[in-house]
Structure 1
Amino acid sequence: MTNAGSPTPADTRRDFDLIVVGAGVAGLSAAFYWLTEVDRDARVLIVEEGAQIGGPAIQHTFDVDGRSLVSPGGAQELTFPSAFAPAVTSALSTLGVEIDRFYSDTVSTHYTDQGAEGHGYAFAASVWGRSHLVAHGRSAVADFADAPIAPRAKAEVAALVSEPTDWLHGRTDDEKLAELRGRSCDGVLRDFASLDDDTHRFLRYSTSAQSGMTFDQHPALDAALIGYLGLDGIGVRPAGDPWAGLTRTGTRFFPHMDPPIFRFPDGNATIARAIAHHLIPDLFDAATVDDRLTAVMSVDALDRPDNQVRIRLNSMATVLRHDGADSVLVTVDGSGGATRTYRARAAIVAAPARAATRLVPELGQDQQATAACLGRYPIVSASIAFRNWRAWQSLGISRISWPGHPTWQIAGLEFPVTIGAVTPSPSPDDPTTATALGALTEAGTDPATGAAAGRRRLLTATARHEISAELRGLLAEALAPGGLVADRDIAAVRVEMWPQGYARYSTSRDRPGDGSAATEAKSRLAAGVGRIAVAGVDVIDHPFLDGAMESAHLAVTHLANGGAGR
């Protein structure tokens, strides 16, 4: 029986045990955990508004001059895997994803052996008036003498890069932590250093690509823990208990500072593809992670009527509500204008939390308010195919950052890991890929306001063309001194735009009214209502792949134990 006054779109209802809204890593993981821990015979429907699985964990492939290339289309790495929750570690093991393999499969000396170990600081003409590249190797002091910045800033920036300063020298560790707590990265430098305005401009977006927050928004305490530029000289080391005031992520990472080597050739697409293949066994003609890396997905297999798990792409869930105490209904608008309603025992919203305010009218007012303020940081990512990387080698670099640039902040050549048939480009004369990343949160305001401004930019009709052209121009400008001719040497640029990119997480700098939500409020939202739960990085307060998987496990466990009251 339907609730009175709630018309049902005309179509055949089909029963499922679980309906999941969203086919990103959280949604795929929710189906995985339901089948492995609740009911291995369950029928599951996953509804995805977009045209692909994985959310930002997608794969790009190129064929350049006869060489097949694989690259991350979005999410790129497994961050500090020794900090993963047991449910995540166990799932990855079941899926055949071996974390320890990177200690042997990563070719750590690949670029060093070929003279491209350094980092290039590329001053963009659009930001600084003229272009200039400073190539900094590990063994030399960075030379910013010709950089287009103020004379005093040249020495200050060189010191930031080559000889980090302890701005809190002379204080005890407890005194240093007290000064860091509650300040932004930029706030520490303004309060305890006297630096040129150009030095602050150099650092303005230096944390953006990693967190979504600009240097004047990012919490100093977490930055000091990770060792971000500008605060990497403050001599407080992780020891004892986690520092009071760290974010949930910082607290988790505190004793787990693994090396940055855990990255598949296609980034976290490997994880998404592994989960999807577990759910739909004939999705790939490949049995292992290695073979699946270059296998073609059988898209037709996603939504076959006889599948135990059906993944329906290009379909938008519009309403999710209860139909009695132990049943939920979801209305779905599919391609071609067809509208259908499906019934299940339970449902999980595994999409940006704001979707819950639209989908689930039964949520409480406090839950609705929490979801409404969880707009994410807008980010852009790109895979670039090069016909060769001679310009990079000539400059002695494998990574680039663009100081002060409000759109694109970092880029780097393909991660040198050998997995299956995918190997690093053997020489600078051979084709390769690079990835670029940027966050568009505006500086000079609170994170919520800055993120909203960036999202508005990404949603304009001309954004993709402008941002793609901007990246191509930045690469051409930065690498021209090494001999790059963009029209000749850049084979392809594929840009992905993520208005709802990095999840916003709670920090010690949050203030009432600034659009933030406490961890406890996010947990109440995750509990949902009745047989409906919410999963994803928004509600776990840990915006990484393992957070998405862990939140899915929590949602499944919650529903399996009876769910929330109504």
Structure 2
Amino acid sequence: MRDGTLQEKNIKETDEVYDLVVVGGGLSGLAAAHFYRKYAGPDKTVLIIENHDDFGGHAKRNEFSVDGHRLVLNGGTLEMEAPERYNQWATMILSDISVNIDAYKKENLKTNHLYEQMGLRSGLFFNQEIWPHDYLMPKSKENAASQWRYISEEALKNAPLSEKARQDLVRIVSPTQPDYMTGQSAPEKKKSLATLSYKEYLLTIAKVDPTAVAIFQKTGAGIFCVGGDALPALFAWVMGYPGFSGLGLGDVPDGLLSDLQGGQHGRQKDSEETVHFPDGNATLARLLVSHLVPGATKARSQDDMGLAGFAYEKLDQPNQPVRIRLGTLALHVAHDGAPETAQTVSVLCAPAGEAAPAQISKVQGRQVVLACWNMIIPYMVPSLPAPQKEALAYGVKGPIAYVNVALKNWRAFKKLGVAEISCPGMFFEEVQLAEPMSLGGLKAPMDPEKPIVVRMIKTFGMPGLSKREQYRAGRSVLLGLTFEQFEKEIRSQLQRILGPGGFDATRDIAAITVNRWPHGYAYTYNSLYEPLDWVFTETSERPCVKARQPFGRIAIANSDAGASPHTDAAFEQAHRAVVELLERQTFPFVSAMPGGSTL
């Protein structure tokens, strides 16, 4: 596909013609199928083509069985951020598949604060490669006003930092710190902060000691897959990071810009509003599939999804309205005739994983939604206009690895008094106990003597490069890492952090799953590298808007099309794509090509 050398020979005519073919079986693709049947009718036929061996895309689920205990954790998308702020189409789909957030919250009311009740707090690990020696610093037990997460004067007393570094940290978490940008108005300060990285702000404006700034080198990495060197200081202010209380910027209005396509703001603030199932948003994917292909599972309700089994061989059966074809790569998509007049679109497919597939098969759709990774679309649809191809190529995805480690017990966490640990100088920047959440028959681990899953997160920032260049370089690093290298780092890091609590990596680790996402988070616009209008407005000049224009009977979905990695963006883009197709079907005078109507 990349080199344009696809040989269109030995093509098997399947004689399969569907009302809609969806390329991509992630949340956006599943949602597109749902919206299409909702609007066009349940009798319409839909084929969903997915190159992986499971549905859900980034909404992936990991399962373990340890000493008779069934453990589940997300292997990708963790949560719904502020679902009460979801757009109407995302809200609609949650209602259609019977997601009941209030019932879920009620179910987990007693365990929601389990770790805090057990005295487990957040912590910061100083590693000897950057600081004088290894040291785990738990959050202070004092609920002081001058405290940010794990940083406070009390907590820092024994930290391996100079006195200046300690005092600088105490200063920037204080609610009464100085104004570091005197002489500028609040709007001027905000514009300056939008074009200055958080790292540079701390070093050059707030004058924080470099050994203290190193604590923030992974700031925002879990959201943007790059650290504080590529995070605009204005984003850090909106997200609640320290160093801004004296600038007179005012309060960040609740939900400020949270609905703006791009995902940079608002919902990234620390909040109790996030909702996550034990397997993250894989529960949403499973609910969607149970509605689209009811024969694949007996499970129907939200609670059923905790322990639900799926008969994968029933996902792609003849004579059912919706078929999900896993392990299948869409290679080439083209109208059967001129895009303006064609009645069908042909999709050439091959088994995923075969470097030189012996057989290429063809299916046809009266309409097609490409809900896949948008950067691949120019290769898949070579007849697209050149400007649209260029726009599709812009959004480089962020690489990230979610590693889930099943432990036979979590006594060490209990003894050390921590539930989540930030490790800004180590291989994995986050180490977290699985949230104590239950879903129906799937019960949360509550006893430190019993098994649990630990989540470890690694991003691949490459300071010194632009955000897009960091993504490309980081992806190369990720794809070059073997499982053995991951395992070595996992065992070493957990041993160093938890060893003082009695942890033994050889004895206590039961299983490891590494979820590599070389093309993970959708690209979001960044005011260090892109025009301010792209970041703070919904201008049609943004590449994602130019990229997602309909092309004949082909429409483009996926969260990439909204320049946002959030689940509600994936749903919204699916809805838009389906409506674009159905509008043209109903009103044929609507332009089939990018650039507007023919009237």
The answer to whether TM tops 0.5 is: yes
String of CA shifts for 1:396-431, please: whole Å, max 9, x gaps: 1111110233x4211211212232122322221121
2:346 is aligned with 1:329: yes
**How far apart, in 1, do the equivalents of 2:80 and 2:448 lie?**
27
- SS of 2:513's equivalent? strand
Say what the alpha-carbon RMSD is for the aligned residues: 2.9
- CA gap of 1:339–1:454, structure 2 versus 1, over 3 A, is same
Q: What does residue range 133-532 of structure 1 map to in structure 2 within 5 Å?
A: 133-139=136-142, 141=152, 142-157=154-169, 165=177, 168=180, 173-229=186-242, 236-239=250-253, 242=256, 248-250=262-264, 253=267, 259-324=272-337, 325-334=342-351, 337-405=358-426, 407-460=427-480, 462-511=481-530, 520-532=542-554
Match of residue 75 from structure 1: 77
- Identify which of 532, 540, 559 aligns with 2:581: 559
- SS of 1:62's equivalent? strand
String of CA shifts for 1:74-113, please: whole Å, max 9, x gaps: 1111111122110110111110111233442333321122
String of CA shifts for 1:419-464, please: whole Å, max 9, x gaps: 212232222112112222221121222101111110011122x433
Match of residue 65 from structure 1: 67
- CA gap of 1:546–1:240, structure 2 versus 1, over 3 A, is closer
Larger deviation: 441-450 or 160-169?
Answer: 160-169
How much has 1:182 moved relative to structure 2?
2.2
Match of residue 19 from structure 1: 21
Contact preservation (8 Å) 2:261, 2:562: no
- SS of 1:451's equivalent? helix
- CA gap of 1:38–1:187, structure 2 versus 1, over 3 A, is farther
- SS of 1:459's equivalent? helix
Larger deviation: 413-422 or 345-354?
Answer: 413-422
How much has 1:161 moved relative to structure 2?
6.2
- Identify which of 572, 577, 580 aligns with 1:550: 572
- SS of 1:564's equivalent? coil
The one-letter amino acid of 2:582's match is A
**How far apart, in 2, do the equivalents of 1:334 and 1:345 lie?**
23
- SS of 2:518's equivalent? strand
**How far apart, in 2, do the equivalents of 1:443 and 1:195 lie?**
19
How much has 1:221 moved relative to structure 2?
2.1
Contact preservation (8 Å) 1:110, 1:416: yes
String of CA shifts for 1:478-501, please: whole Å, max 9, x gaps: 111211111222211211110101
**How far apart, in 1, do the equivalents of 2:86 and 2:380 lie?**
30
Larger deviation: 187-196 or 29-38?
Answer: 187-196
**How far apart, in 2, do the equivalents of 1:70 and 1:240 lie?**
33
Larger deviation: 160-169 or 543-552?
Answer: 160-169
Structure 2: gaps spanning 5 or more residues:
1-6, 144-151, 585-590, 595-599
**How far apart, in 2, do the equivalents of 1:350 and 1:127 lie?**
43
What is the aligned residue count? 556
Match of residue 109 from structure 1: 113
The one-letter amino acid of 2:167's match is A
**How far apart, in 2, do the equivalents of 1:28 and 1:41 lie?**
17
- SS of 1:100's equivalent? helix
Q: What does residue range 82-93 of structure 1 map to in structure 2 within 5 Å?
A: 82-93=84-95
String of CA shifts for 1:39-81, please: whole Å, max 9, x gaps: 3211111111111111121111111122111111111111111
Report % sequence identity: 29
